[in-house]
């Protein structure tokens, strides 16, 4: 019976509301579990290593080229996050953001947007306050149950394995910018 309830919850969240997708101007993301698979590799010297998905990264680059803003809001701090964000030219990076709502409020002001214009991707309890506010709340299949309940959409792809790219494509397709992006790669 419990599995049936979980499955039913997942089924109704396999298509994000088109009206919400059309309003999105900003994609804000957690790191561990969204941009990565949630595993943290700590080397013998204490340095942290993260594995990122190249298609997620390229999706972020394309998304930004079409005028969308991006942000990272993470409760942890890691040089690997700063390096990846710099490489992708993420517009705003908030590390040590706990509670995340403080960073989220700062981001809204800095970008001049409202809740309904933000898509946030998070997978764990610290993400709930932001997931409950945004216009499009997204999580991944391996998220905690509370994040799945708060989400408007649960991606098919797991975190760190194309979930971010999946959401970027959904937003851009709903707004008609995906075809324009494809056109820049289809012709020599």
Residue 188 confidence (pLDDT) = 66
Task: Indicate whether 9 pLDDT > 60.
Answer: no
Q: What is the pLDDT of residues 62-96, one digit of tens each?
A: 999 999 999 999 999 999 999 999 999 999 999 99
> Parallel, antiparallel, or unpaired for β 153-154 and 136-139?
parallel
Instruction: Give the mean pLDDT of 101-106.
Output: 98
Sign for the pseudo-dihedral over CA of 14, 36, 93, 69: negative
Count of C-beta atoms within a 10 Å radius of residue 176: 9
Backbone angles phi, psi at 42, to 5 degrees: -110, 120
* 128-186 pLDDT, tens digit each: 999 999 999 999 999 999 999 999 999 999 999 999 999 999 999 999 999 999 998 87
45 vs 187, higher pLDDT: 45
How many Å apart are CA 134 and CA 28, to the nearest integer? 10
Q: Distance (Å, rounded) from C-alpha 47 to C-alpha 49? A: 7
Contacts of 58 (CB under 8 A, 6+ apart): 165
pTM to 2 decimal places? 0.90
Query: Which two three-digit tokens encode residue 136?
Result: 């499009």
Indicate if the pLDDT at residue 7 is higher than 80. Answer: no
Which residues, in sequence order, are bridge partners of residue 121?
Answer: 29, 138
Q: What is the pLDDT of residue 10?
A: 44
Report, as an integer, the average pLDDT of 94-106.
97
In terms of C-beta density within 10 A (0-12 exposed, 13-18 middle, 19 or more buried), how is residue 149 classed? Answer: middle
Residue whose token pair is 């019976």 = 1
Q: Residue 18 — pLDDT band, cuts 50, 70, 90?
A: confident
91 phi, psi to nearest 5 deg: -65, -45
């Amino acid at each position: 019976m419990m599995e049936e309830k979980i499955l039913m919850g997942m089924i109704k969240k396999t298509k994000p509301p088109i009206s919400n997708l059309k309003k999105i101007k900003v994609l804000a993301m957690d790191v561990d579990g969204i941009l990565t698979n949630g595993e943290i590799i700590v080397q013998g010297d204490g340095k942290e290593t993260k594995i990122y998905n190249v298609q997620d990264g390229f999706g972020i680059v394309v998304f930004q080229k079409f005028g969308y803003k991006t942000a990272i809001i993470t409760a942890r701090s890691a040089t690997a996050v700063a390096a990846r964000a710099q490489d992708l030219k993420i517009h705003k990076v908030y590390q040590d953001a706990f509670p995340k709502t403080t960073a989220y409020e700062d981001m809204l002001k800095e970008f001049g947007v409202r809740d309904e214009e933000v898509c946030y991707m998070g997978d764990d309890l610290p993400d709930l306050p932001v997931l409950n506010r945004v216009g499009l709340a997204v999580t991944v299949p391996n998220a905690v149950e509370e994040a799945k309940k708060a989400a408007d959409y649960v991606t098919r792809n797991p975190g760190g394995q194309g979930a971010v790219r999946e959401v970027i494509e959904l937003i851009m397709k709903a707004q008609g910018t995906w075809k324009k992006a494809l056109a820049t790669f289809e012709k020599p």
